[in-house]
Amino acid sequence: MASGDLEVEYKKLVKEISECRQCELYKYRKNPVPGEGPLNTPIMLIGEAPGKQEDETGRPFVGAAGKLLTKLLEEAGIGRKNVYITNVLKCRPPSNRDPKPEEVEACSPYLRQQIKLIKPKMIVCLGRHSAKLIFSWAGIPWTNMKRQHGQVYEGVIEGLKVKIVATYHPAAALYNPQLRKELEEDFLKVIGPLAKQILEGKIETTKRTTLLDFLRGKG
Ligand code: URA
């Protein structure tokens, strides 16, 4: 898609999200939080849902967890400005409660459309809600974060081959030194090196898997 068309399609999506009433969360939101970052990046990070400061500003990961995420990205040599950041839910659940299954289902088409437009080569799932959803879309079994964090998986989502890494949610690591250590290690040892390779174009470009590719064994 030409970059002009991509921006037009993206703006349409943002407008749809801002007018969304598919679940009851629209009643409580100050601002929807669609996501932010360059549309031509190969790296997408997916969190859970906006919190208080995100709801007030309309931007993802700007509160305490966001500050930690920004630090992790910088220290891993990726840089926040080089990645697209979004959430499973685009509106804040009251009192930051867990997303309800019906809210995840109602909001999922927006995340799918973001993946279709941005075509990431790598998705980083921040927290179990994001991991559970993305792994299910990619057809990869999901058990729990303790077992599966910091491992690189490969799957196909929306016809795109994508590398997927799950790690702990930065908010969970804020007051838990052991989780924080594991989260930092995931960023330094796995997410950073892989993202850098992808950003530097050292890993094969993402393409849509066509039926012909599949039949030729290139799927
Ligand atoms: N937690 C999330 O999952 N997302 C945000 O944007 C902020 C906090």
Can you give the pLDDT at residue 140?
A: 98
Smallest CA separation from ligand 1 atom 3, residue: 48
Q: Which ligand 1 atom sits closest to the C-alpha of 65?
A: 8
Task: Give 160 Cα–ligand 1 centroid separation in angstroms.
Answer: 25
**Contact residues for 107 (Cβ-Cβ < 8 A; gap 6+):** 20, 22, 23, 88, 89, 90, 91
Tell me which of 61, 73, 86, 96 to substitute to probe ligand 1's pocket, judged by most ligand atoms within 8 Å of the beta carbon: 61
- The pLDDT of residue 211 is 60
Q: What confidence score (pLDDT) does residue 216 get? A: 57
CB of 43 within 8 A of CB of 76?
no
- CA distance linking residue 163 with residue 94, whole number of Å: 32
- Residue 209's pLDDT is what? 52
At residue 219, the pLDDT reads 44
Structural domains in the chain, CATH included, are 3-215 (3.40.470.10)
* Structure confidence at residue 214 (pLDDT): 56
Report CA Rg, the chain: 17
Ligand 1 pocket by Cβ (under 6 Å): 47-51, 54, 60-61, 63, 65-66, 87, 171
pLDDT in tens, the chain (219 residues): 888 899 999 999 999 999 999 999 999 999 999 999 999 999 999 999 999 999 999 999 999 999 999 999 999 999 999 999 999 999 999 999 999 999 999 999 999 999 999 999 999 999 999 999 999 999 999 999 999 999 999 999 999 999 999 999 999 999 999 999 999 999 999 999 999 999 999 876 445 555 655 565 544
Mutational test site, ligand 1, from 25, 31, 45, 48, max ligand atoms within 8 Å of CB: 48
Q: In the prediction, which pLDDT does 115 show?
A: 98
The length of the chain is 219
Question: How far does residue 18's CA lie from ligand 1's centre (Å)?
Answer: 18
Span from the CA of 46 to the centroid of ligand 1 (angstroms): 9
Question: What are the two backbone dihedrals, phi and then psi, of residue 125, each rounded to the nearest 5 degrees?
Answer: -90, 120
